[in-house]
Chain A
């Protein structure tokens, strides 16, 4: 049974409202460097609204795929500094979805703690593969 009609197919005009908000955030980023974000899941967007917003923003130069407890995609739109981020969880279902307005989304940046842990692992790997090499670093 498919359930009662959800009317998910119809655009409501919300895409233009969201675009206006993105525009304000982008102005702010350009003028003051202030980052911002919009949680798309908190808005009553239909699938048609999402598709319309995606079309209005267009494709950009960068797309990154992450494998972090499920798939995530980070896609820059045709407007530099405007990123469409989609995190997926169990069953590849969307767990969160947001528009980030910033130079680089935080999730793409390697965290200091992870870099320090990686350096320790690298030392261990060098020690195991080329004895004495780690001390030379």
Chain B
């Protein structure tokens, strides 16, 4: 086989230097930081520190692995309407491997992944969307002759941290839904020796993904996480807490059907199955499509897509009050406090999560571990 030239150069310049050459001023960093601090509910004063941190950082190597997924998470993060300050995040990272977006294919694509790992040993970030099938030695999803499990274990070996984007990577998601025919599991069932940040959602809100990466770059640390490994900045409050229809809930005014007078008046959707009270996400504040709307504003109840096992919660149109025991369990779990700042929190959340989740939460004996036994 012909020898290939390295596809990557180790980034030497800081982001401030590199972007200055392209005419992007420090004002852009400050504006981006103001925007990010705002969406992450950081104090406005943090914006200056964030801007300085970003300007001094090196371009972050990112390896994006896609396993059992629908590519909706990638669609979400790339859905920018026009070049703008929000898109600056794409100048801050070097997306060294993403088999849907990269030009290279076949063995050159895999070479790109291996080189990024070699050149950024201990420094690269792994983003994963999709769950990993473990049943029947993981044959249900393979890439370049490797099972998803093999590729994940190989890639995270020298990673700095892992971000699980989407509910499939974070909790098993739809592939893990009952009866879970492929034995799909979440990423943090397999990766237990690195910080893993969960950004669930089906798909996750783009700003949740970009804001988390910007935080990692700026402060060289992990944002405060909840008991399910989710950044509290985005998942700290229930949809219901920030819902503009909440006053109707307090007054006991509910839509009973999607075509009744209550629905037309914009009353609370609790009785037509809204999962907002037990769903933690930022949809009601950040909204979707550039802040245009979110499901409840468009007249449909929240599906609870950022919570574990949302697909199996007993029906999207069944009120929580008539739901399964599981719903009550999640509701109770959601009230459990438990987070710490820093990498340790990413490890600590796992033990709490195991107590809250069902069959996808059992400690995983991976095929390689089985062999070792």
Taking Cβ atoms with an 8 Å cutoff, the residues of A that contact B are 1, 3-7, 35-39, 41-42, 66, 68-70, 72, 85, 87, 89-91, 93, 95-98, 100, 106-107, 111, 113-114, 117
Contact = CB atoms under 8 A, between A and B. Distances in A.
B9 interface: no
Interface string B87-130: 11000000000000000000000000000000000000000000
Given A90-B290, A98-B44, 6 more contacts: A4-B265, A6-B297, A68-B28, A90-B82, A95-B31, A96-B38
B291 A93 contact: yes
Residue with the highest number of chain B CB atoms closer than 10 Å, among A37, A89, A91 = A89
A90 B84 contact: yes
A51 B358 CA distance: 49
Interface residues on B, range: 35 or more
Residue with the highest number of chain B CB atoms closer than 10 Å, among A4, A36, A41, A107 = A4
A64 to B, nearest CB: 11
27 contacts: A3-B293, A6-B297, A35-B45, A36-B45, A39-B37, A68-B85, A69-B28, A69-B31, A69-B83, A69-B85, A69-B87, A85-B34, A87-B35, A90-B80, A90-B86, A90-B87, A91-B81, A95-B31, A95-B86, A96-B34, A96-B37, A100-B44, A107-B27, A107-B34, A111-B25, A114-B25, A117-B20
Interface of B: 16, 20, 25-28, 30-32, 34-35, 37-39, 41, 43-45, 48, 55, 80-88, 244-245, 265-266, 290-291, 293, 297-299
A16 B28 CA distance: 32
B65 to A, nearest CB: 28
A41 B38 CA distance: 7
A66 B31 CA distance: 10
Contacts of B30: 106-107
A38 B55 CA distance: 24
A-B pairs with lowest CB-CB distance, top 8: A4-B266, A37-B44, A69-B85, A111-B26, A90-B84, A96-B38, A89-B84, A95-B35
Contacts of B41: 39, 42
Contact of A98 (B34, B266, B291): B34
B15 to A, nearest CB: 11
Contacts of A114: 20, 25-27
Contacts, number: 109
A37 B44 CA distance: 6
A71 to B, nearest CB: 10
Given A37-B45, A87-B34, A100-B44, A6 B85 contact: no
Residue with the highest number of chain A CB atoms closer than 10 Å, among B28, B38, B265 = B38
Contacts of A95: 31, 34-35, 38, 84-86
A96 B34 CA distance: 7
Residue with the highest number of chain B CB atoms closer than 10 Å, among A5, A95, A117 = A95
Contacts of B48: 106
A68 B31 contact: yes
Contacts of B31: 66, 68-70, 72, 87, 95-96, 107
A100 to B, nearest CB: 7
A53 to B, nearest CB: 16
A42 B233 CA distance: 12
B47 to A, nearest CB: 8
Residue with the highest number of chain A CB atoms closer than 10 Å, among B20, B28, B81, B297 = B20
Contacts of B37: 39, 96
A82 to B, nearest CB: 14
Contact of A113 (B16, B35, B45, B244): B16
A7 B82 CA distance: 30
Contact of B290 (A85, A93, A98): A93
B16 A69 contact: no
